[in-house]
Amino acid sequence: MKKYLKIALLVVVAAIFIFTFVFLYQKSKPKITVYETITPAVADLEKTTVATGKVEPRDEILIKPQISGIIDELYKEAGQTIRKGEVIAKVKVIPELGTLNSAESRVRLAELNAKQGEIDFSRVEKLFEDKLVSREDYEKAEVSVKQAREELQTAKDNLEIVKEGITKNSASFSSTLIRSTIDGLILDVPVKAGNSVIMSNTFNDGTTIATVANMNDLIFRGKIDETEVGRVHEGMPVKLTIGALQNLSFDAILEYISPKGVEENGANQFEIKAAIQVPDTVMIRSGYSANAEIVLERAQKALTLPESTIEFSGDSTFVYVMTDSVPAQKFERKEVKVGMSDGIKIVIKDGVDGKSKVRGAEKKDK
């Protein structure tokens, strides 16, 4: 029994020894690395940049009153279309007491002068009929009474303007009626009936009654980084996407690049503007956030490789071309000339052809 036990123990020890030897031998053997191979393919590449910004009308017109007072009535609200000359609001004039007293005093004085002028003219007219005064004296009296009548009418008109901001004879030109100066869409009406408003003058911008814009003439206003501003120019096509309008894109034309940069977060940004071509069937609102994609460089039907297969060494670029696959893969380092890259693929100008097999990523054991 002891004999069999001893034999079994020796067999186990021998098996452990052999297993350890085989394991260490396998570990000491160099591991064969297998790579994926990639064949250059013909493709179209585009290098693009994206500018973020907003959509807005080319011109937003601020409608301001030409007279101070209180909003008496509002005839329009935001979102309505309006024609040039249409009334947006009516302003009620609140006369200043001193100005009102002065205007009333002027009317009373003009009435006295006009009354006296009528009396004097009647007297001269009677004398002229009796041929007791010359025609020259008669004509002078006639001119004087006409001047007195005109001064009275002017004084009454001035009093009416002070009280109402308008005269009966000039109702169509009244500054109390606030009119739109362009055709367009009312974007905002920041005042309400009863609000006080101030006229626009040299020292004050005045109160904005409404903001009106032509929504058929929209632009994209955004910013582009200084590293790419030198590669864009006016007239370049732009592809515009608006977050609020999913699955829609719009064509635009770059029409302005600011000559001066503004520093933002440590980088210089340059303002750009692009005219948007909006279909009649689409409604775009002012202030929509948008992204403008600009194609900086384009290559069509070019031989390309994934950029990950390229080895960059100084000013030179290399790839590893497979020369043999049996019994193991063999690769030769070969210099190539490259062109533009879109960040994923790169154009191969010279060094390999469409039949070459280029080393790619290492295959992982599953």
Residue 180 belongs to a domain = yes
Higher pLDDT, 79 or 97: 79
Cα–Cα distance between 242 and 244 in angstroms, integer? 6
Residue 3 belongs to a domain = no
Based on the fold, state whether residues 87 and 177 are members of the same structural domain. Answer: yes
Overall average pLDDT of the 212-223 stretch:
93
Overall average pLDDT of the 278-294 stretch:
90
Based on the fold, state whether residues 219 and 351 are members of the same structural domain. Answer: no
Residue 166, pLDDT above cutoff 90: no
Based on the fold, state whether residues 155 and 101 are members of the same structural domain. Answer: yes
Residue 237, pLDDT above cutoff 80: yes
Based on the fold, state whether residues 196 and 325 are members of the same structural domain. Answer: no
Task: Return the pLDDT at 260.
Answer: 93
Return the half-sphere exposure (C-beta side, CA atoms, 13 A cut-off) of residue 168. Answer: 3
Residue 248 belongs to a domain = yes
Q: What single letter denotes the amino acid at residue 228? A: E
54-68: per-residue pLDDT in tens? 999 999 999 998 888
CB 186 within 8 A of CB 78: yes
The confidence band for 26, taking pLDDT boundaries of 50, 70 and 90, is low
The confidence band for 184, taking pLDDT boundaries of 50, 70 and 90, is very high
Cα–Cα distance between 73 and 286 in angstroms, integer? 27
Mean pLDDT (the chain) is 83
Residue 91, pLDDT above cutoff 90: no
Task: Return the pLDDT at 168.
Answer: 62
**Lowest-confidence segment of 10-14, 121-125, 144-148, 309-313 by average pLDDT:** 10-14
CATH of the domain at 106: 1.10.287.470
Based on the fold, state whether residues 221 and 282 are members of the same structural domain. Answer: yes
Q: Structurally, how many domains does the chain consist of? A: 4
Residue 115 belongs to a domain = yes
Based on the fold, state whether residues 222 and 294 are members of the same structural domain. Answer: yes
34-47: per-residue pLDDT in tens? 788 888 888 888 88
Based on the fold, state whether residues 311 and 336 are members of the same structural domain. Answer: yes
Task: Return the pLDDT at 111.
Answer: 80
SS3 for 206-260 is CCCCEEEECCCCEEEEEEEEHHHHCCCCCCCEEEEEECCCCCCEEEEEEEEEEEE
CATH of the domain at 334: 2.40.420.20
Cα–Cα distance between 125 and 120 in angstroms, integer? 9
Residue 2 belongs to a domain = no
Residue 300 class from Cβ within 10 Å (0-12 exposed, 13-18 middle, 19+ buried)? exposed
Based on the fold, state whether residues 114 and 147 are members of the same structural domain. Answer: yes
Based on the fold, state whether residues 249 and 354 are members of the same structural domain. Answer: no
The domain of 343 spans 35-45+300-362
Residue 126, pLDDT above cutoff 70: yes
Based on the fold, state whether residues 41 and 69 are members of the same structural domain. Answer: no
Based on the fold, state whether residues 254 and 275 are members of the same structural domain. Answer: yes
Cα–Cα distance between 70 and 165 in angstroms, integer? 12
Overall average pLDDT of the 92-103 stretch:
71
